[in-house]
Amino acid sequence: MYLEWNVAVDEENLMLRTFLRGKFVSKLLLTSVKFSEDGKIEVNGNEENVLYRVKAGDHVRITFPREQENERLIAEYGELPIVFEDDFILVLDKPAGMTSIPSQYHPSGSVANHLKGHYLRNNIDSAIHIVTRLDKETSGLMLIAKTRYAHGRLSTLHQTGHVTRKYQALVSGNMETRSGSIVAPIGRNPNSLIERAVVADGKYAKTNYDVLASYPTFDHVKIQLETGRTHQIRVHFAHVGHPLIGDSMYGGPTELVQRHALHSCHLELIHPFTEEKMAWDSELAPDLAAILAQYK
C-alpha cells in the first residue's frame, strides 16, 4: 500500500520526515519503512532519506511494508454485514452474539475471523485493526482500520474526540431526569477477572444520555460517550440504579431479553486520509425493536 502527496508552496524546505509527520505518518511507521525490505520513500520517483528538504511541486510517495498476517487467526467465510469499505477503513453492523476477536477457548466465530476470510476471498492485502471494539452481546456499528497508518490516525482522532459513537439502550426502571450525564471513574472490579466497577482509583469516564421514551419497567435511552472505558455504559447505568435490561452481569432483569440491551446506532468520523467527514446510522437491532413494539 502507498500514499502520495504534492508539496505545497507553504511546505517548501521542510525536512521530508517533518512533511510526512504533517501528513500523520507516525515516527513508528517511518521506522518500519526505513528498516523493511519492501517499504520506501520516494520524491519525484527517486528514493530519498528523511533528511531531504522538499520543494514546492515535489511529488512524495511512501510505500508501506507489507503487514504481517496473523497465521494463527482462523479464516471464516460467512457473510459480514459491511456498510462501508475502502482501502483504509471498513464499517460493519455487528449482530449480537458475535465477539470482536477470538479467545483462547473460542478461536472462531469472531468479527476478526470473518474479516480475515473476507480479505482472503477478495484478495485484499490488509491487516485487521479493530478501532471501536464491541462486547459480544452489543449489536451495531463497528469501525475497522485496514492499515497501520489508518489505525494510528483513527486512534489519534478517537482520543481527541473526532470519532463520535452513539448508542441506544433499554435501561431498567425510569430515569429521574430526561437527560443528563453520568460521571464516575471506572476500573477493574477487585472481586472479578471480567467485571468493571465504579472505583475511587479508576479512570475518568463520562456518559451522556437522553431518554427517548419511557415504558412501565424501562426507559429507551440514547447515549453518547465522551470516554471509552471497558463496559462503560453498562457500569454507569448500573451504578445509578438502572442497569441495562438483559445485563445479568451488572444486575439487569432478564425477563424481556437474554442479552444486554445495547446497540451502537451512530458512528461519525474524519476519514484518516481524505479528511472527509463521514457518518453512518444503524436501526435498532430487531430483538430490541420487538420489545418496543410490544408497547405500541
Catalytic residues: 135
* Torsion of the alpha carbons at 249, 251, 257 and 260, rounded to the nearest 10: -50
Task: Give me the residue label for grid cell 511507521.
Answer: 29
Task: Give me the residue label for grid cell 415504558.
Answer: 215
The whole-angstrom separation of Cα 156 and Cα 15 is: 23
Task: Give me the residue label for grid cell 451522556.
Answer: 208
Q: Confirm if 65 and 90 have CB atoms less than 8 A apart.
A: no
Task: Give me the residue label for grid cell 440491551.
Answer: 261
The whole-angstrom separation of Cα 194 and Cα 189 is: 8
Query: If you ran DSSP here, which 8-state letter would residue 87 be given?
Result: S
Please tell me whether residue 40 adopts helix, strand or coil conformation: strand
Per-residue HEC secondary structure of 198-216 comes to ECCCCECCEEEEEEEEECC
Rounded to whole angstroms, the maximal C-alpha distance in the chain is 70
